[in-house]
Structure 1
């Protein structure tokens, strides 16, 4: 397994994003994550997008972070927001999400960000378990879904 930094609009990233959007739709019935995300959001040094590839060079997991500072959606100065964490079904349970998350945290820390934040939902209990076991704690809601009952926001100091 190897992890590569790629642009958010890389073909493998687009393919995995389509898969995660379909999963969000299956879990929530809302068409997927409607949060506005621009490819440039993940351009270093203000973000990064990573893909894990298996031994056959198949993209199997992904995740990114983007810089957020104080805004009207509840972010604080120094935030690094995790976006599009996803592992394909066949590769779940092997620690890939944890590896991607650790790499994102290290990159955000090196970029000078002070807090990692993320939003997930009640229909993603495995994501909540990953984040809480990785030291994330519930925080004040932020972002596009901050007024949704199913939304759960987490933060971890870097």
Structure 2
């Protein structure tokens, strides 16, 4: 998979974001209503990547600044046909690396109990429970996770 930095409103990104929104509809009955502005994912205050396989967009994700030294992960997604091949883990690793390089010390995210694959990915990558925030903070189906990027810095040095 070839990862490329693209604008959040790039046509390939929009196609994948529409896919993740439909995933939310299937699992939760509605799209994610968290406010998102495309400009939040533009460097240096954010980043959005699309993963391509044989020229086709198959995976995406991004981060945006949240607070003084924190960033929030958003719109992690892999199309059905490309799942189970490690693409989500590759996107996540790239987002961690780029957030760290941009001076972020911690990544946080909101996911849900009806996304067991996402929960398994994040927990296996070292994410732990954090305080709830945002529009879903009182939703009993929401799960909030975070990771200190110092762990990533150590992993990068070991390579």
TM-score tier, shorter chain, comes to over 0.9
**How do 1:103-122 residues align onto structure 2 when only pairs under 5 Å count?**
103-122=94-113
Deviation at 1:144, TM superposition (A): 1.6
Question: Which residue number corresponds to residue 60 of structure 2?
Answer: 62
Question: Which residue number corresponds to residue 22 of structure 2?
Answer: 22
Give runs of ≥4 in structure 1 deviating > 3 Å. none
Question: Which residue number corresponds to residue 73 of structure 2?
Answer: 82
Mapped partners of 1:138, 1:144: distance in 2: 17
Task: Calculate the TM-score normalised by the size of structure 2.
Answer: 0.92
Deviation at 1:88, TM superposition (A): 0.1
Query: Which SS does the other structure have where 2:107 is aligned?
Result: strand
Q: Where in structure 1 are there 5+ consecutive unaligned residues?
A: 70-76
Task: Calculate the TM-score normalised by the size of structure 1.
Answer: 0.93
Deviation at 1:116, TM superposition (A): 0.4
TM-align CA RMSD: 0.6
Q: Where in structure 2 are there 5+ consecutive unaligned residues?
A: 150-159
Question: Which residue number corresponds to residue 73 of structure 1?
Answer: none
Question: Which residue number corresponds to residue 156 of structure 2?
Answer: none
